[in-house]
Amino acid sequence: MRLFTALDLPEDVVGNLERLLGELRPVARIGWSTPANLHITTKFIGEWPDERLEELKQTLAAVQARPAIEVAVRKVGFFPNARAPRVFWCGVEAPGLAQLAAETDQATRRLGVEPEKRAYSPHLTLARIKERADLERLHAAIQGLAAIEFGRFAARRFFLYRSRLQPGGSVYTKLAEFPFTS
């Protein structure tokens, strides 16, 4: 099974992003994300054997307790850049989130999961851009956005998700919840 860990978004933030996507979707033919699928990934685990699922859950449950992480969802941009984009993203500002990602990476590394090679960059993937597309209208629409603030919340837990690739897009299933404080 294909797994990752992530923070969920509250309904009001998802609603704000859904309105943004509704506004932008008509201006570019790219692989738009489904608002209900938006999450803040903290660790991509990849393929994991079913028979070791409990071992993984126990390891993640032992990730150090912490106070709630204050999260602000704001701004939009492109990876790697606006001229040759592969991902259209929404920014995430969350002091303490990089520490959670690093501790999750260290914990899963002990189980044989490949460690992250790139610096952690929290974001929400709003769309994937697989082919060259005319993004002139998207760039203009972004410039004309009334707001680039999509909400704030206090994250008090993270989740282990299973990702199944389907013809219409990925389907995510929560397998476990890990509160930050006991």
pLDDT of residue 88: 95
Query: Is the whole-model pTM more than 0.85?
Result: yes
Write down the catalytic residue from 17, 21, 39, 163. Answer: 39
Residue type, 39: H
DSSP letters, 76-89, are EEEES-SSS-SEEE
153 forms beta bridges with 71
Q: What is the full DSSP assignment across 150-177?
A: EEEEEE-EEEEEEEEEETTEEEEEEEEE
Structure tokens at 64: 């150090």
Annotated active-site residue 139? The verdict is: no
Helix (H), strand (E) at residue 71: strand 69-79
Clarify whether 123 is annotated catalytic. Answer: yes
Written as one letter, the residue type at 127 is A
* Domain extent listing, the chain: 2-179
Per annotation, catalytic residue among 113, 123, 124, 142: 123
Which backbone phi and psi does 108 adopt, to 5 degrees? -75, -25
**Residue 146: its pLDDT value, please?**
66
CATH number, domain 2-179: 3.90.1140.10
What pLDDT is recorded for position 130? 86
- Could you tell me which residues come within 8 angstroms of residue 144 by beta carbon, excluding any fewer than 6 positions away? none
Those residues of the chain that have pLDDT short of 50 are 182
